[in-house]
Amino acid sequence: MNTPELASARPGPNDPCWCRSGLKYKKCHREADARSGGPAPRVRRVRPGRLSPPRTVPAEIPRPDYVPTGRPGPGIRGDPATRLERMRRACRAAAQVLQETGSRVAPGVTTDALDAVAHAAYIARGGYPSTLGYHGFKKSMCTSVNEVVVHGIPDDRPLEPGDIVNCDITIYLEGMHGDCSATFPVGEVDEAAKKLLRVTEEALMKGIEAVKPGREVRAIGQAIAAHAAANGLGVVRNYCGHGIGEIFHTELQIPHFDDAGATTVLEEGMIFTIEPMLTEGSWGVKHWNDGWTAVTADGLRSAQMEHTLLVTRGGAEILTLP
């Protein structure tokens, strides 16, 4: 997605704030910038690029139930006796695709080229790209650059040195969806970006460590939010982890903040994702008119890390390891 624009000059008092909050500069960041004594922060703005046609999948590869209509149903049920092993294989394959795709992240590479890498890697494993056709999504993965929080659409934008990009991978294999993501640095990045990536990964692991049978789902968000706050970062509240298996997204939701309503009790055998999105600023988001792309409301960067896991007697087993 997207040609970047860099903004570093301080706006006039009645100009729109550099953070794209929609407020005038004098009502938003002017005082903070004055206290810092420096210019307004440099913000790399991401813009929509051109999309290539959806990629094709060989006819012999099984499709999920929402292909071709785009409307998810109850899923296609397989042999219950093999369900867990099939889920393990799907998640392992997803982790391998993520690893392969992430290794191709570099300055000058387009997000559409990353989509092509992921697409080929799914098919090489006999899997279908879960996002392709899901509610009409036309690509085989999501790529979220800089201030894009989630659901970025791969396009012809070359990645720039200093960018960060999240690659969100989901494969449909043997009747199960395996889901994971990671945010990668593009070339050399600044210290703030390094911190954002590190703390986001740490927050994911804090959330996983909080998983114990008998605890409420709320404990996961509490652990993530506490770690983010201790490091001066925000946690996006508009999106959450989710149950997964034969169905891409089940009704089970896993908030990444301290949500008093997240009272579902964790039970052995549950399978779901934890996928915190941390920001350099506030947790608010805006949406592009493409129906998918969510960006931070203040224009600052966001990072996401994700695993699918199984609740076990002693805690959690991470399924999305390569």
Predicted confidence (pLDDT) at residue 36 exceeds the cutoff of 70 = no
Tell me, yes or no, whether 84 lies in a domain.
yes
d(CA 208, CA 204): 6
Tell me, yes or no, whether 195 lies in a domain.
yes
Report cis status (omega within 30 of 0) of the bond before 68: yes
Tell me, yes or no, whether 41 lies in a domain.
no
Tell me, yes or no, whether 260 lies in a domain.
yes
Percent of the chain with pLDDT over 70: 88
Per-residue pLDDT band at 38 (split at 50, 70, 90): very low
Tell me, yes or no, whether 13 lies in a domain.
no
Instruction: Tell me the pLDDT tens digit for each residue of 228-240.
Output: 999 999 999 999 9
For the segment 245-259, the average pLDDT, to the nearest whole number, is 97
Per-residue pLDDT band at 31 (split at 50, 70, 90): low
| Residue range(s) defining the domain that contains residue 292 | 62-318
Point out the least confidently predicted range of 68-77, 150-159, 177-186, 221-230. 68-77
Instruction: Tell me the pLDDT tens digit for each residue of 160-176.
Output: 999 999 999 999 999 99
Q: Please tell me the total count of domains within the chain.
A: 1
Predicted confidence (pLDDT) at residue 37 exceeds the cutoff of 50 = no
CATH code, 235:
3.90.230.10
Per-residue pLDDT band at 45 (split at 50, 70, 90): confident
71 close to 26: Cβ distance less than 8 angstroms: no
As a residue count, the chain comes to 322
How confident is the model at residue 229, as a pLDDT?
A: 96
How confident is the model at residue 92, as a pLDDT?
A: 98
Q: Is 284 exposed, middle or buried (0-12, 13-18, 19+ CB in 10 A)?
A: middle
Average pLDDT taken over every residue of the chain:
91
How confident is the model at residue 40, as a pLDDT?
A: 42
Tell me, yes or no, whether 26 lies in a domain.
no
Per-residue pLDDT band at 198 (split at 50, 70, 90): very high
Please give the model's pTM, rounded to 2 decimal places.
Answer: 0.86
For the segment 8-28, the average pLDDT, to the nearest whole number, is 63
For the segment 253-277, the average pLDDT, to the nearest whole number, is 97
How confident is the model at residue 24, as a pLDDT?
A: 74
Predicted confidence (pLDDT) at residue 196 exceeds the cutoff of 70 = yes
104 close to 117: Cβ distance less than 8 angstroms: yes
Tell me, yes or no, whether 54 lies in a domain.
no
For the segment 176-192, the average pLDDT, to the nearest whole number, is 97
d(CA 307, CA 284): 23
d(CA 85, CA 244): 14
How confident is the model at residue 47, as a pLDDT?
A: 87
Instruction: Tell me the pLDDT tens digit for each residue of 300-311.
Output: 999 999 999 999
**Where is 206: in which H helix or E strand?**
helix 191-209
What distance, in Å, lies between the first and last C-alpha atoms of the chain?
A: 28
Strand 43-45 relative to strand 5-7: parallel, antiparallel, unpaired? antiparallel
Tell me, yes or no, whether 52 lies in a domain.
no
3-state secondary structure 148-166: EEECCCCCCCECCCCCEEE
How confident is the model at residue 5, as a pLDDT?
A: 40
